[in-house]
Chain A
């Protein structure tokens, strides 16, 4: 009996180097860059200047008088809300349709997941080929006489925002579908049977049994969806290049434009810190709310 704690200590001792290395790498690759960015955000650093000075919180106060940041923030918020909503609703619907053990459904499940494994650049390029002036949608609709003139998909702020939401939601719905399908597997069949015996129809069974049992899957999909949408960059860079007239700049896109396009690295770093804080806060709040729902199960 006396040897058990010694064995445990020995096992922990064996893991210690791995823990040290992990902590060291985490410090080097995560904590240090964040700390360096926070420090840079307190300076007037620019790429076309050799020197930089400490400016305190000037870069942060500048955000309040930056009109482009306001538009950027609004666009990011709209895309985040719409994409999270659409991909979760779509994910649940597809998951329920594909929740079948038959062999052909397995193939369909694999196909449903493909958009998620594609790179954002590929996804955006594909959709750009469809939304382009002579793209698949316009050319097909014109060919069959459904349209008299091509639709200006990417040419107005509203339409471009819509196209961004469709593209991002298409990719993230695939992820939600897989997560919700896993969630559906964990719904005990007895509960469904009991509900049926009690006379509950399909809609009642969904809202009273299935949906509550999907709470952990919802937490995963919503939180990761929010984080992904807030950090959106690659799809915008390829699909709209932030246009027209800079109307589809997300916060992440704007950070890159300010820091490297305009060369204002100090202000860009401050915007990066804003994005970090915003993402952390939104994720924490969403997790807290959704976890409460999980504990009510």
Chain B
């Protein structure tokens, strides 16, 4: 009877010794020891990035190297994100990187270091749009995207005598004409939640935030609900589109690349998508020539610009190298060379104070310039793009997830009020 007890005790001892070994190892990385060594030894910081068709590994490697060259003694270990949940997983396991690209500020704001306003003022236009509800800016507004723009096939519109719609009723007329012409009126990458909700983002941004840009703040303060009439009305518009046959019956089986291809092949007349679609990462110059762009139409024809003013990098304030990480993030954000591929491939509308498109020497299409004029001109009122925007108008991931699900649910559930009430319940659960 003694032997099993001995084995158990010895086993536990081994486990504790191993655990103690692990603890000792991590103890050597205490902040003080890192800070003291900074002056004499190189510091390695970890940077989380998201790679995509437009923001390739090569782009990140080059721009990281350029920024690192401006901060002596810093080396960067690049970490590539594997999904929206990844920063949360890294944080939960105590491995949150020093610098974080494209994170949900609402989820992580309490662990982020604010940028100083003087530096933001000196370098960026409209940086105030990135102010979070606690008054801080956690990601500098280095650029803006418009989500959505509505792209259309010029040939199909011309062949069917269709002109660009400005009001919701005109938009419905276009849908009817395209359908009568045997063309799928609206393309949709419904198989992917983030892309499935782009049209609904347009409707909510225009009809809810267009009327009241502070609506999300009111939602956070408990003074507004998803079941408010305007929000339900916007969701009802999506249901109306489904019932009008605006989408391919198999739209929810289309992924992003299939939807892009359908639109570029002329199988559909319109495609609500983010402004990145203008970039050369998605379109050839030849394809861009046949594509026009307009804003999501409102009931009375008022033009609203659903903007996502967002930056790239946030800094983890709990990092032992937080100050160096901030210095590096600022170096990246002010390095003009970093933006050229972002503008050309991802169609970012850059908000640098000290550099114009000409200064950057970028090669863009006339379609990009059309979008750029919309984004930076006075023709439309800028409002935060619902679900996509950061800063104080960011919403929790759980609600964003529910919203994306709702955009797919309207294909089988035509009760807008019930869908919105369900989103209210998810909002309550997220608090």
- With A128-B255, A156-B412 given, is the CB distance from A133 to B92 under 8 Å? no
Flag whether A19 is at the interface (Cβ < 8 A). Answer: yes
Q: Are A48 and B11 in touch, CB under 8 angstroms?
A: no
Q: Are A19 and B11 in touch, CB under 8 angstroms?
A: yes
Mark A84-102 against chain B: 1 for CB-CB distance below 8 A, else 0: 0000000000000000000
Distance between Cα atoms of A149 and B261 in the complex (Å): 18
Contact of A133 among B89, B110, B251, B430 (CB under 8 A): B251
Residues of A within 8 A of B12 (CB): 23-24, 27
Flag whether A32 is at the interface (Cβ < 8 A). Answer: yes
Distance between Cα atoms of A12 and B286 in the complex (Å): 77
Q: Are B15 and A152 in touch, CB under 8 angstroms?
A: no
Tell me which residues from 2 to 48 in chain A have a Cβ below 8 Å from any Cβ of chain B: 16, 19-28, 32, 47-48
Mark the stretch among B204-212, B233-241, B395-403 that contacts chain A: B395-403
Residues of A within 8 A of B409 (CB): 244-245
Q: Are A244 and B15 in touch, CB under 8 angstroms?
A: no
Contact of A23 among B8, B84, B262, B405 (CB under 8 A): B8
Contact of A261 among B108, B190, B397 (CB under 8 A): B397
Least CB separation from A240: chain B residue: B191
Flag whether B85 is at the interface (Cβ < 8 A). Answer: yes
Least CB separation from A49: chain B residue: B110
Q: Are B193 and A133 in touch, CB under 8 angstroms?
A: no
Q: Are A27 and B7 in touch, CB under 8 angstroms?
A: no
Flag whether A293 is at the interface (Cβ < 8 A). Answer: no
Q: Are A28 and B191 in touch, CB under 8 angstroms?
A: no
Q: Are B405 and A133 in touch, CB under 8 angstroms?
A: no
Distance between Cα atoms of A22 and B11 in the complex (Å): 7
User: What's the minimum C-beta distance from B228 to chain A, rounded to whole angstroms?
Assistant: 22
Flag whether A246 is at the interface (Cβ < 8 A). Answer: yes
Contact of A47 among B91, B192, B402 (CB under 8 A): B91
How many inter-chain contacts with C-beta < 8 Å in the A-B complex? 162
Flag whether B358 is at the interface (Cβ < 8 A). Answer: no
Flag whether B258 is at the interface (Cβ < 8 A). Answer: yes
Distance between Cα atoms of A244 and B193 in the complex (Å): 8
- With A28-B19, A241-B193, A243-B193 given, is the CB distance from A138 to B250 under 8 Å? yes
Q: Are A243 and B110 in touch, CB under 8 angstroms?
A: no
Distance between Cα atoms of A244 and B408 in the complex (Å): 6
Q: Are B107 and A132 in touch, CB under 8 angstroms?
A: no
Q: Is the interface of B mostly helix, strand, loop or mixed?
A: helix
Distance between Cα atoms of A48 and B250 in the complex (Å): 38
Flag whether A296 is at the interface (Cβ < 8 A). Answer: no
Flag whether A275 is at the interface (Cβ < 8 A). Answer: no
Distance between Cα atoms of A50 and B109 in the complex (Å): 11
Mark A125-153 against chain B: 1 for CB-CB distance below 8 A, else 0: 00010011111001000000000011111
Distance between Cα atoms of A22 and B17 in the complex (Å): 14
User: What's the minimum C-beta distance from A111 to chain B, rounded to whole angstroms?
Assistant: 29
Distance between Cα atoms of A23 and B401 in the complex (Å): 42
- With A157-B412, A243-B405, A260-B85 given, is the CB distance from A133 to B248 under 8 Å? yes
Least CB separation from B10: chain A residue: A20
Tell me which residues from 240 to 270 in chain A have a Cβ below 8 Å from any Cβ of chain B: 240-241, 243-246, 256-257, 259-265
Contact of A19 among B7, B91, B250 (CB under 8 A): B7
Flag whether B252 is at the interface (Cβ < 8 A). Answer: yes
Q: Are A133 and B254 in touch, CB under 8 angstroms?
A: yes
Distance between Cα atoms of A128 and B256 in the complex (Å): 13
User: What's the minimum C-beta distance from A161 to chain B, rounded to whole angstroms?
Assistant: 13
Distance between Cα atoms of A245 and B190 in the complex (Å): 10
Residues of B within 8 A of A259 (CB): 88, 92
The residue among B191, B254, B255, B401 with the most chain A CB atoms within 10 A of its own CB is: B191
Distance between Cα atoms of A64 and B394 in the complex (Å): 30
Q: Are B11 and A16 in touch, CB under 8 angstroms?
A: no
Flag whether B14 is at the interface (Cβ < 8 A). Answer: yes
User: What's the minimum C-beta distance from B356 to chain A, rounded to whole angstroms?
Assistant: 38
Least CB separation from B412: chain A residue: A156
Mark B401-420 against chain A: 1 for CB-CB distance below 8 A, else 0: 11001101101110000000
Residues of B within 8 A of A115 (CB): none
What residues make up the interface of B, taking CB atoms closer than 8 Å to A? 7-8, 10-15, 17-19, 84-86, 88-89, 91-92, 106-111, 190-193, 196, 248-255, 258, 261-262, 396-398, 401-402, 405-406, 408-409, 411-413, 425, 430
What residues make up the interface of A, taking CB atoms closer than 8 Å to B? 16, 19-28, 32, 47-50, 67, 128, 131-135, 138, 149-157, 240-241, 243-246, 256-257, 259-265
15 more contacts with CB within 8 A, not counting A28-B19, A47-B88, A262-B430, are: A23-B7, A24-B10, A27-B15, A28-B15, A28-B18, A47-B92, A48-B108, A132-B255, A150-B248, A152-B251, A154-B253, A156-B252, A241-B192, A259-B88, A262-B401
Ordered by A's residue number, 30 sampled pairs between the chains whose C-beta atoms are within 8 Å are A16-B10, A20-B7, A20-B10, A20-B11, A22-B11, A24-B11, A24-B12, A24-B14, A25-B14, A32-B19, A48-B106, A48-B111, A132-B191, A133-B191, A133-B258, A133-B262, A138-B250, A152-B250, A155-B250, A156-B412, A157-B412, A244-B190, A244-B405, A244-B411, A257-B85, A257-B401, A259-B88, A261-B397, A261-B401, A262-B430
